[in-house]
Amino acid sequence: MGRRILVTGGGGYIGAHTVHHLVRSGVPACDIVVLDNLVNGHREFLPAGVVFVQADLNQFDCVTATIRTQEIDRVLHFAGFAYVGESMEYPGKYFQNNVSAGLVLLEAMRLGGCRRIVFSSSCSIFGMHPKIPITEEEEPHPANPYAESKLMFEKALQWYGSQHGFSAVRLRYFNAAGADYGIGPRHEPETRLIPLTIGAALTRTAPLQVFGADYPTPDGTCIRDYIHVTDLAEAHKYALLYLDRIDIGETPGFNLGTGQGTSVMQIIHWVERVSGLPVPFTIHPRRPGDPPQLVADSTRAQAALGWKIRKPLPTIVADAWAWHSGEWSRKG
């Protein structure tokens, strides 16, 4: 790409995979600047040669200086909190980190002369009862502060596009999963279904909690669209290139998923099949705010970005199993 890229939250799960993918795709490591406060990120997840700045987005002077001195041309913005339940308990934390700190970044970019950004948004902005599969035309109805914070920053990007000439690509992820490049998810606490299912298979002492078996789905459990983290990283690579093809002030949004829904019970089946181990589970009442189904229509992203899904669900589960079983061995 020949231009320097700032990656906020680049030590996190999706951010670090994207950094590795960019380097593997030919971007010189020295042209990637990762800014992460390491609250949830991991310095050791990053490839050798990238420039690392340990800082918080709220440190306006530091962020502005980084953009100027490193001659940043475009930004991949991953930094943010992402626990729905926590956002319900501490909404202020999410608006402060995901919105206010994001606005600090935008102002630092404006003053530093950088006006191209790819934003890590979320399918959660669509809320409880969207039409399936979900297109970009679906009206957002965020049902929790986390989703609301993502939508608020999307709107901020649109205003910075119209008022300050920013160009932005807003990527609405569905359920990221899997592992690659010798790294993987390492969350505390772990809330994602596939890692929790693998943990139940490995320990066999703490059954997987299945929340709701009475949804209007074929087996009664929630259905989600699982996308391999490497496919997400590939989408970010194409989004960076797409910034050169859109007009100044444009801020298009794209849904990123496979278009295939998988239920909780089907995930249990696939983990058992890949691992050869049984997955103990218990059924519990539905959790408030869990939509029965979330499945993406990614037609627009495929057409505009030239992106496509390469890794199906069996590969997602196999790669996740390889990573998490290794993590359990490391922990002893």
Strands 167-173 and 253-256: parallel
Residue ranges matching CATH 3.40.50.720 in the chain: 4-177+227-256
CATH of domain 4-177+227-256: 3.40.50.720
For 87, the token pair is 């956002």
Q: What is the pLDDT of residues 207-247, one digit of tens each?
A: 999 999 999 999 999 999 999 999 999 999 999 999 999 99
**Residue range 3-25: mean pLDDT, rounded:** 98
Predicted confidence at residue 1, as pLDDT, reads: 46
Q: What integer pLDDT is reported at residue 298 of this predicted model?
A: 98
CA-nearest of 158, 1, 155, 20 to 74 is 1
**pLDDT at res. 187:** 83
> Is residue 134 pLDDT above 50, yes or no?
yes
pLDDT digits (tens, 9 = 90+) for 304-326: 999 999 999 999 999 999 999 98
- Residue 52's pLDDT is what? 99
Which are the catalytic amino acids? Answer: 146
Task: Find the mean pLDDT for residues 78-89.
Answer: 94
pLDDT for 331 equals 62
320 or 187, which is more confident: 320
Average pLDDT over residues 167-188: 96
Considering only the top CATH level, what class is 193-225+259-331? alpha beta
Check residue 51 and give its pLDDT: 99
Q: How many CB atoms lie within 10 A of CB 170?
A: 24
pLDDT at 75 over 50: yes
C-alpha to C-alpha distance for 162 and 132, rounded to whole angstroms: 31
> Cα(210)–Cα(232) distance, rounded to whole angstroms?
27
Check whether 204 has a pLDDT greater than 90: no
Phi and psi at 255, nearest 5°, equal -85, 135
**Percent above pLDDT 70 for the chain:** 97
